[in-house]
Amino acid sequence: MKTYRTIKELRAALESARQGGASIGLIPTMGALHEGHASLIRAAVQETGFAVVSVFVNPTQFGPTEDLAAYPRPLEADCRLAESLGAQAVFAPEVGEMYPSGEPAWVEVGGHLTGILCGRSRPDHFRGVTTVVAKLFNIVGPCRAYFGQKDGQQAQVVRRMAAELFMPVEVVIKPLIREADGLALSSRNVYLSSSQRAAALVLFKSLAEAGACLERGEREPQKITALLKARIKAEPLAELDYAEIYSFPELNDPGPEICGPVMIALAARVGSTRLIDNLVWPEKPALDA
Ligand code: AMP
C-alpha cells in the first residue's frame, strides 16, 4: 500500500491499476479511522480490485464555531490500519491540493433533503460535503464509493448528487457499526470524558426504545419523537439538537401514521461534542449474509 499526497501521483497509480484491469473502490473519510470505517474498507477490498481510502479533514463542511482545528489527525495509524485491511492506496492531500484557488466551485444538492436534520443545524455543511465528494469522485473515478449509514442523511445526499449529475459511480451504503454497549462509533468519541461517554449512551438507548415502540405497533411519529425527547432531556449531560422521523430512504415527512420503513434520527450535544445516531426500522435483512 502507498500513501499519496498529490492528485498527480494518485492518478498515475490509478491509471496503471486500471490498465491492469482493476475496478476502483473509494472510501472517503476524515481519518481517525475506527471499526466503522474499517467495515467500509473491508467491503471495498472485497468488491473492487483497488481500494483507495481518502483521509482529508475537509474544512468546507465545518461551521465557523465547529471543531475543525481540534479534529484528530492520526495519519500514520490510519495508514497502518488501511494497509492491514488490504487497501491499495491512502490519499491524504493538503487543503491547498483539494482547494487550489481557495474559491471553490460549489456542488450543492438543494431542497428538502439538505434542509432537514443536520442541514438545519449545520448551515452549509452538506454543501461542503458534496463539494469535496464530487472532487474526490473526479480525482479517483471510482466505480463504487462506500458510505456508512452512521451519516444516514449524508449518504442519501451523496446518492442524490451522483444521480443528478449523472456520475458513473455506484454509491454503496453500509450498516452503522456500534461499540459492544451500543454507542455508535465516531471519530469524535475521543473528545468524551468517561462520564460523558456514559451519558452519550442515551442516544442509542432511546433509539432502541423507539424501535421497541414500533415493534409493539405504535405508528404515530409524534408519540415516538416525544418519547425520544423526554429520554434525552432526562440525561443531564446531554442537550438535544433534534429527534425526528422520516421515511427511508427518501427522508420525506412520514405523515400522521408510519406505514413503511423509517429512519429515526437523533443529534445531541454531550458537553461540547455533537453526536448523531439513527435507527432504520424495520432493519433491512442482510442480502449478502
Ligand atoms: P467520517 O470520517 O466520519 O467523515 O466518516 C467517513 C465514512 O465512514 C462516512 O461514510 C461515515 O458514514 C462512515 N462511518 C463513520 N462512522 C461509522 C460507523 N460507526 N458505522 C458505519 N460507518 C461509519
Nearest to 223 by CA among 254, 183, 188, 192: 254
> Which residue is closest in CA terms to ligand 1's atom 22?
148
Tell me what the mean pLDDT of segment 264-278 comes to: 98
Give the global pTM.
0.97
Best mutation site among 29, 30, 37 for ligand 1, i.e. most ligand atoms within 8 A of its Cβ? 37
Query: What is the pLDDT, as a whole number, of residue 289?
Result: 40
Run of H or E including 207: helix 194-215
Q: Which residues does ligand 1 sit against, CB inside 6 Å?
A: 29-30, 36-37, 39-40, 147-148, 150-151, 176-177, 184-187
Average pLDDT of 237-262? 98
How would you list the strands of the sheet with 262-270, edge to edge? 238-247, 262-270, 273-281
**Rounded mean pLDDT of the chain?**
97
**Ligand 1 mean position to 35 CA, how many Å?**
9
Are 88 and 51 contacting, i.e. CB atoms less than 8 angstroms apart? yes
C-alpha 222 chain-centroid distance: 26
Distance 27 CA to ligand 1 centre (A): 9
pLDDT value of position 156? 98
pLDDT tens-digit readout, 232-248:
999 999 999 999 999 99
69/84 Cα distance (integer angstroms): 28
Mean pLDDT of 19-41: 98
The pLDDT > 90 percentage for the chain reads: 98
pLDDT tens-digit readout, 146-174: 999 999 999 999 999 999 999 999 999 99
C-alpha cell at 108: 450543492
- Cβ-in-10-Å burial (0-12, 13-18, 19+) of 262 comes to buried
Please compute the mean of the pLDDT values over residues 102-115 and round it to a whole number: 97
Which pLDDT score is estimated for 286?
56
Q: Using DSSP bridges, classify how beta strands 262-270 and 238-247 pair: parallel, antiparallel or unpaired.
A: antiparallel
Tell me what the mean pLDDT of segment 258-268 comes to: 98
Distance CA 184, CA 150 (A): 7
Residue 4 has pLDDT above 60, yes or no: yes
Buried b (16+ CB within 10 A) or exposed e, 134-155: bbbbebbbbbbbbbbbbbbbbb
C-alpha distances out from residue 65 to 59, 61, 122, Å: 12, 12, 10
Average pLDDT for 271-275: 98
Residue nearest to atom 8 of ligand 1 (CA): 37
Stretch 114-123: mean pLDDT: 98
State percent of the chain over pLDDT 70. Answer: 98
Enter the C-alpha cell of residue 86: 488490504
pLDDT tens-digit readout, 208-220 = 999 999 999 999 9
Q: Please tell me whether residue 71 adopts helix, strand or coil conformation.
A: coil
| Structure confidence at residue 283 as a pLDDT band (50, 70, 90) | confident
Element (H, E) at 163: helix 152-164
pLDDT of 221 above 70: yes
C-alpha cell at 285: 435483512
Q: Which residues are catalytic?
A: 37
Instruction: Return the SS3 of 114.
Output: helix
Residue 47 contacts residue 25 (beta carbons within 8 Å)? yes
Asked whether the beta carbons of 22 and 51 are under 8 A apart, the reply is: no
Which is it for strands 238-247 and 24-29: parallel, antiparallel or unpaired?
unpaired
Dmax over Cα atoms in the chain, in whole Å? 58
Pocket test for ligand 1, best of 68, 132, 150, 158 (most atoms within 8 A of CB): 150
124-151 mean pLDDT: 98
Q: How far apart are CA 12 and CA 261, in angstroms?
A: 44
Q: How many CB atoms lie within 10 A of CB 88?
A: 22
Look at residue 5 and tell me whether its pLDDT is greater than 90. yes
Residue of 124, 156, 139, 184 lying closest to 248 (CA atoms): 156
C-alpha cell at 10: 494518485
Query: Can you tell me the mean pLDDT for 195-215?
Result: 98
